[in-house]
Structure 1
Amino acid sequence: MRPGTFIRLALVGNRTDAARLALTALSAALAALAVLAALSVLAIQTPPGDPGQHSEQYTNALLREPGLRGGTAFAILLLTIPVLALAGQCARLGAPARDRRLAAFRLAGATPGQVTRVAVLETGLASLLGTVAGLATYLVGRALVHRPDVNGQLALPTDVLPTVPELALVVLALPLVAAAVTALMLRRVTATPLGVVRRARRAGRPRPWPALLIALGVLGAALFEPIRQASGDGLEAWVFGSVFVGAFAAVLGVILGVGWLSHWTGRLLHRYAGSPARLLAARRLTEDPWAGSRTFAALLAALAIGAGAAAFRAGFELREQLEREQNRRAGYDDFSNGQNAFYLRTMDLVDLAVGVAVVIAVAGLLVMLIEGITARRRAYAALVAGGVPRATLGVSILWQVLAPVVPAVLLALGAGYTLGRMLNPDIVTGGDWEPVCRATAELCADPANRDSHIEMVLVDGVVHSPGVPLEQLALLGAGAVAATLLTAGLGVLFLRSSTAVEELRAT
C-alpha cells in the first residue's frame, strides 16, 4: 500500500471521525503551547556576573528572578497533564464507527498490520497538525504581545525563543508519542472483516497496584527539598524534571485507581441495591470497571493539580500572615513587602488555569457519556423492548456515573493536596542555628574529622504548619461532582433517541 493511500484512509470518515481528529489536534495544540511556554521561561538568560542577578527587562518577578523560573516552568508543565488526559478521551470518540470502518478495510483486502498502521497514522497526523498549529499560534502570539512598556519592560518572555532543535522536538515528539501510545493500545486488538475484536480481555477484578504510583509520586515530592539542597544549582532542571515525573505518576495512579474503585463500588451497590436501576448500574460497574478511568481521566487530573495549588496557596497565606505579625511587632504598621501577595496573585492565575482545565474535562466527559450511550444503544433498546422503563435506565446511568466519581474525586483531591503539601514544607521562625556533631564521641573529639560530621540544627525555633484548605478543596470536589451530575443529566437526554425499537436492527 502506497503512503498516499495510507494517508487518505487515515483521514477519511464521517462527521464523528472529523470531530475526533479535530479534538485530538486541539489537545495536541494545547499541549504544545504549554511545553513551548515552559521552554520560553527556561530560555531566559541570567545577566553575567552574580548567578542570582535579576533579569530586569521583565515586569513579572516570576521571570526576573532566576530561582523562580524553574518552578514557573514546572507549574506550566503540570497543566499539560489534564490536556493529555483529554487527548486520550478524544481518541475514543466514535470508536464503534471507526471499528466498522477498519473492518471494511479488512473486507477490502487490507492486512491486520495495515489496518493498525492506518489507525496509528490517523492519531499521529491529527497530533502533528495540532502541534504545527500550536507552534504557529505560539510564534504569532509572541509577535503580537511583544509590547514593551514605557520603561522598556516586558510582561512575557517574548524577547527569547527556544532553540530550533527544541522547537522541532516539541512539534515531532508529541505526535510520535501519541502514535506510539495508539500502537500500544492496539496491540491486543485485531481488525477482522466482521468487526474489531480483542485477542485478550482483562480478566479478574482490578488490583489496587495504582496505589504504588501514588506512593511513588508522594515519595518524590517528599524528597524534593533534600535533593534540591544537596544537588545545588547545577542539577536544578533535573530535580524539577524528576518531580514532574513523580507528579505525573501520582496523577496516573489516581486515574488508573478508578478501575479498582469502580469495581468495589459496583460490588457494594449490588449487595445493598434496593432498586432495578442500582442493580443495572452495579452490574455495569463490575463488568467494565475500567470505563471510569477512561471517562474521568481529564477531570481527575485537573482536580489533583487544583488540590496541589490549594496546598501552595495555604503556604503562601501562612507566610504572609507571619510577615504581617512580625512587622506589627517591629512597629511597621502592618507593612508587608508584598512578595507573598505577589505569589497569591500568581496562584489566582493557576486557579484560573485549573478552572479552564475542569471545563475542558467536563466537555470531554459529556462527549464520552453520549458516546457510551450511543455505543450501547442496542442493549438499551433491548431492555426497553423487554419492559424496562426509560426512567429506570436513566437513573441507572446516573448511578453508574456518580457512584465511582465521588470516591475518585476524594482520592484525586487527597493525592494532589499531599503532593502540594510535601513540596511546601513547614515554616520555622525564631530560634538559632547551632552546630551539632552527628558521630561518635571519638570522631567528634578529633579536630581533623569533626568538621565533616557537623550538622546545623535549629534550636528553640517555632514550627508553623499551613492549615488544610478545606473550603477550597470542598469547593473543588463539590464543583466537580455537580458538573458530573449535570453532564450525566445532559447525556441521559440522548437516551430516548438511542432506545427506539428500530435500534435493535442497528449494526
Structure 2
Amino acid sequence: MSLATLTRLALAGNRTDAARVALTALSAMLASLAGFAALTMLAIPRPPGDPWQQSEQYVSALLREPGLRGGTAFALVLLTIPVLALAGQSARLGAPARDRRLAALRLAGATPGQVTRVAMLETGLAGLVGTFVGLAGYLVGRSVLHRPDANGQLALPTDVLPPVPAMAIVVLGLPLLAAAATVVLLGRVATTPLGVVRRAGRTGSPRPWPALLIGLGVLAAAMVEPIQWALRGAAVEWLALVVLLGIFGAVMGVIFGTAWISHLAGRTLHRHARRPAALLAARRLTDDPWASSRTFAALLAALIIAGGAAAFRASFQLRAELEQEQNRLAGFGGDGSYDSFYLNTMDLVDLAVAVAVAIAATGLLVTLVEGIVSRRRTYAALVATGVPRATIGTSIAWQILAPVVPAVLIALGAGYAIGRLLTGDLSQDGRTPDVPLEQLAVQGAGAIVAVLVVIGLGLLFLRSATEVTELRAG
C-alpha cells in the first residue's frame, strides 16, 4: 500500500473523526507552545562577568535572574502533562466507529500492519499539523511581541531563539510520541475482517501498589536537600532530574491508584447502596475500574502541580514575614519588593494551574460524551424497558464522582507533600509554614465544581443518545 493511499485512508472519516483529529492537533499545538517557551527560557545567555550578574534587558526578574529560569522552564514542562493527557483522551473519541472503519479495511484486503499504520498516520499527521501551527504561532508571536519599552527592556525573551535542533525535536517528537501511543492503544485490539476483537486485558481487581510510586516521589523530594548539601551546590542538573522523576512517579502513582479507588468505591456502593442509580454505577466501576485512571489522568496531574504550588506559596509568604520581622527588629522598614515579587510569581503559577484544570475538564467532557455515545444502544434499551433517564444520568454522576473525590484529595496531598519537602525550613530555629488548608480546599472544590459542570454538560447528550431509534443504530 503506497504512502498516498495510506494518507487518503487516514484522513477519511465522519464528523466524529474530524473532531478527534482537531482535538489531537489542538493538544499538540498547546504542548508545542509550552515546549518552545521552555526552550526559550533555557536559551537566554548568561551575561559575562559575575555569576550573579543579571540580564538587565528584561523587565521581569524571572527573566533577569539566571537562577530562576530553570525553575520557570521546569514549570512550563510540567504544564504539558495535562495537555498530553488531553491528547490521549481525545484519541479515544469515536473509537468504536474508527474500529469498524479499520475492520472494513481488513475486509477489503488490508493486512493488520497496514491497518495499524493507517491509525498511526492519522494521529501522527494530526499531531504534526498541531506542532507546525504551534511553531508558526510561536514565531509570529515572537515578532509581534518584540516591543521594547522606553528603557529598552523587554517583557518577554523575544530577543533569543532556541537552537534549531531543539525546536525540531519538539515539532517532530510530539507527533512521533502520539503515533507510538496509538500503537500501544491498538496493542489490545485485533482488527479482523468481521469486526474488532479486544484481546484479554487486565484481569482481577486492581491492587494498591501505585501507592509505592507516590511514596517514591515523596522520597525523591525529601532526598534533594541532603544530596544538595553533600554536593555543596554542584550537579544541579542531576537534582532537577531527581525532582522531575519524583514528580512523574507521584503523578503516575495517583493516576494508576485511581483504578484501585474506583474498584473499592464500586464494591462499597454495591454493598450499601439501595437505589438503582448507585447500583448501576457500582457495577460499571467494578467491571472496568481502570477507566477512571484514563478519564481523570489530566485532572489529577494538574492537581498535583496545584498542591505543590500551594506549598511554595506558603513558603514564600513565611519568608516575606520573616524578612519583614528582621527589618522591624533592625529598626527600618522593608519596601515589600521580595514579598510582592515571589507572591506575584505564584499568581502566575496559579493561573497556569487553572488553565491546566480547564484543559483537563475539556478532556473529561470529551471522554464523558464518548462514553455516552458508545453505549447509546445499552442506554436506549434501558429506557425502552422503563428505566427513567434521570436514573441513568444519576448513575453516570455516581460513576464519576465516587472515585474522583478521594483521588482529588490524594493528588493535592501528594503535591503538597512534595512541594513542602522541596521548600525546606526557612529559619535557624526550623520554623515551617502553616499548611494552607484554605487554598488547598479552594483548589479541591474548584476541581470538583469543574467535574460537576462537565457532568451537567455531558448529560445534555443523554436524551438524544437514548432515543428508541438508537436501538437500530449500527
**Is the Cα contact below 8 Å between 2:228 and 2:234 reproduced in 1?**
no
**Is the Cα contact below 8 Å between 1:81 and 1:248 reproduced in 2?**
no
**What amino acid is the match of 1:357?**
A
Cα distance between partner residues in 2 of 1:400 and 1:266:
8
**Is the Cα contact below 8 Å between 1:281 and 1:396 reproduced in 2?**
yes
**Is the Cα contact below 8 Å between 2:258 and 2:292 reproduced in 1?**
yes
**Is the Cα contact below 8 Å between 1:327 and 1:336 reproduced in 2?**
no
Is 1:371–2:338 an aligned residue pair? no
**Is the Cα contact below 8 Å between 1:323 and 1:336 reproduced in 2?**
no
Which residue in the other structure is 1:499 paired with? 466
* SS of aligned partner of 1:197: strand
Which residue in the other structure is 2:391 paired with? 392
**What amino acid is the match of 2:342?**
Y
* SS of aligned partner of 2:430: strand
Quote how far apart the aligned CAs of 1:201 are.
2.1
Quote how far apart the aligned CAs of 1:253 are.
1.6
Q: 1:282 to 1:179 in 2, by over 3 A?
A: same
**Which aligned pairs between 1:152-167 and structure 2 lie closer than 5 A?**
152-167=152-167
5+ residue gaps, structure 2, are: none
Which residue in the other structure is 1:145 paired with? 145
Quote how far apart the aligned CAs of 1:346 are.
0.7
Which residue in the other structure is 1:411 paired with? 410
Deviations 1:116-159 (A, max 9, x none): 11111111111111111111111111111111111111111111
Comparing 225-234 with 65-74, greater Cα deviation is found at: 225-234
Deviations 1:407-430 (A, max 9, x none): 1111111111111111111111xx
Which residue in the other structure is 1:277 paired with? 277
Cα distance between partner residues in 2 of 1:134 and 1:376:
35
**Is the Cα contact below 8 Å between 1:310 and 1:469 reproduced in 2?**
yes
Cα distance between partner residues in 2 of 1:9 and 1:231:
56
Quote how far apart the aligned CAs of 1:194 are.
2.5
Comparing 232-241 with 278-287, greater Cα deviation is found at: 232-241
Cα distance between partner residues in 2 of 1:240 and 1:262:
33
Quote how far apart the aligned CAs of 1:297 are.
1.4
Deviations 1:163-203 (A, max 9, x none): 11111111111111111121122122111122222122211
**Which aligned pairs between 1:10-409 and structure 2 lie closer than 5 A?**
10-231=10-231, 235-333=235-333, 335-409=334-408
Comparing 359-368 with 20-29, greater Cα deviation is found at: 359-368
Quote how far apart the aligned CAs of 1:371 are.
1.0
Comparing 76-85 with 216-225, greater Cα deviation is found at: 216-225
* SS of aligned partner of 1:113: helix
Which residue in the other structure is 2:9 paired with? 9
Which residue in the other structure is 1:485 paired with? 452
Quote how far apart the aligned CAs of 1:316 are.
0.4
TM-score w.r.t. length of structure 1: 0.91
* SS of aligned partner of 1:462: coil
Cα distance between partner residues in 1 of 2:213 and 2:196:
32
Cα distance between partner residues in 2 of 1:245 and 1:392:
43
Quote how far apart the aligned CAs of 1:234 are.
5.8
Quote how far apart the aligned CAs of 1:230 are.
4.1
Between the two proteins, the alignment pairs up a number of residues equal to 474
Comparing 40-49 with 228-237, greater Cα deviation is found at: 228-237
Q: 1:388 to 1:353 in 2, by over 3 A?
A: same
Quote how far apart the aligned CAs of 1:233 are.
6.2
Cα distance between partner residues in 2 of 1:77 and 1:323:
31
Larger radius of gyration: 1
**What amino acid is the match of 1:265?**
A
Cα distance between partner residues in 1 of 2:148 and 2:224:
36
Cα distance between partner residues in 2 of 1:411 and 1:234:
33
Is 1:462–2:429 an aligned residue pair? yes
* SS of aligned partner of 2:154: coil
**What amino acid is the match of 1:115?**
V
5+ residue gaps, structure 1, are: 429-460
Cα distance between partner residues in 1 of 2:22 and 2:309:
30
**What amino acid is the match of 1:103?**
A
Deviations 1:245-295 (A, max 9, x none): 321221122112111110000000000011111110100100011111121
Cα distance between partner residues in 2 of 1:222 and 1:278:
41
* SS of aligned partner of 2:196: strand
Q: Which has the higher contact order (CA 8 A, sep 6+)?
A: 2
Runs ≥4 residues deviating over 6 A:
none
* SS of aligned partner of 2:191: strand
Cα distance between partner residues in 1 of 2:23 and 2:231:
41
% identical aligned pairs: 70
Quote how far apart the aligned CAs of 1:398 are.
1.1
* SS of aligned partner of 2:57: coil
**Is the Cα contact below 8 Å between 1:257 and 1:293 reproduced in 2?**
yes
**What amino acid is the match of 1:348?**
D
Cα distance between partner residues in 2 of 1:118 and 1:249:
33
**Is the Cα contact below 8 Å between 1:70 and 1:237 reproduced in 2?**
no
**What amino acid is the match of 1:476?**
Q
**Is the Cα contact below 8 Å between 2:58 and 2:64 reproduced in 1?**
yes
Cα distance between partner residues in 2 of 1:10 and 1:223:
48
Cα distance between partner residues in 1 of 2:230 and 2:66:
18
Cα distance between partner residues in 2 of 1:490 and 1:36:
33
**Is the Cα contact below 8 Å between 1:208 and 1:260 reproduced in 2?**
yes
Quote how far apart the aligned CAs of 1:231 are.
4.4
Cα distance between partner residues in 2 of 1:232 and 1:127:
43
**Is the Cα contact below 8 Å between 2:221 and 2:421 reproduced in 1?**
yes
